[in-house]
Amino acid sequence: MSNSKRKTVLLVLTLLSVTASCTELCAQYGTGRVSKIRWTFIRGRVVEVLTGDSFVVVTETRERKRIRLVAVQAPELDKPFGQEAKDSLSAIILDRNVYIEANSNQSASGPIIGKTSVKTEGWVSVNIAMLKSGFARYVRPDTDLLDPWDMTRYEQAADGARTARLGLWQDAP
């Protein structure tokens, strides 16, 4: 067998192995299948922070879109730590460019729910930053909205804030 055929066979075997691993992870977390969601990718600049888990972005096509962080629940503004959560999110993203991954099958009337990243010294997950700050709780979403790897990262971020008694967790027993 020639070198190029060997490389092709190895590549195919590697891809099959990766696909099997993804299927196993999905099965472990209850879906038993690889997600069939079609994703929408949005780039824009944050022009307004509404709460500790939602904001408005103006896209590259000059559309205003309301975004909500997936798996992140911050207190309402009139609740304890609500304003602090909004201030924390503002410090991370206000007047900055962001990149949002969202399910394209969402309702057109409500906010777009997705994973948001902001460029600092590299791309940083805004969802995880809010969980790490302690000003938001992790809420396990529909398994199609986050893959098992992301769910684990979000849970760890929230657990770290709770253990360190940050934000909402300052007075927790």
pLDDT digits (tens, 9 = 90+) for 115-173: 999 988 889 999 999 999 999 999 988 767 788 888 999 999 999 999 999 999 988 77
| 28 and 72 belong to one structural domain | no
| 54 and 19 belong to one structural domain | no
| 102 and 121 belong to one structural domain | yes
For residue 53, list its beta bridge partners.
none
Please determine, for residue 24, whether its predicted confidence score (pLDDT) is greater than 90: no
**CA–CA dist 94, 97 (Å, integer):** 9
1 belongs to a structural domain = no
**Which residue range(s) make up the domain with 29?**
7-35
- The larger pLDDT score, comparing residue 16 to residue 62, is at 62
76 belongs to a structural domain = yes
65 belongs to a structural domain = yes
Q: Give pLDDT, residue 7.
A: 56
Per the CB < 8 A criterion, the answer to whether 127 and 115 are in contact is yes
| 121 and 69 belong to one structural domain | yes
For 53-112, write each residue's pLDDT tens digit. 999 999 999 999 999 999 999 999 999 999 999 999 999 999 999 999 987 777 677 889
| 25 and 47 belong to one structural domain | no
Residues 6+ away with beta carbon under 8 Å from 43? 59, 60, 97, 98, 99, 100
Q: Give pLDDT, residue 121.
A: 82
**CA–CA dist 39, 79 (Å, integer):** 33
| 76 and 133 belong to one structural domain | yes
C-alpha dihedral (29, 30, 35, 37), degrees to nearest 10: -110
Q: Give pLDDT, residue 120.
A: 84
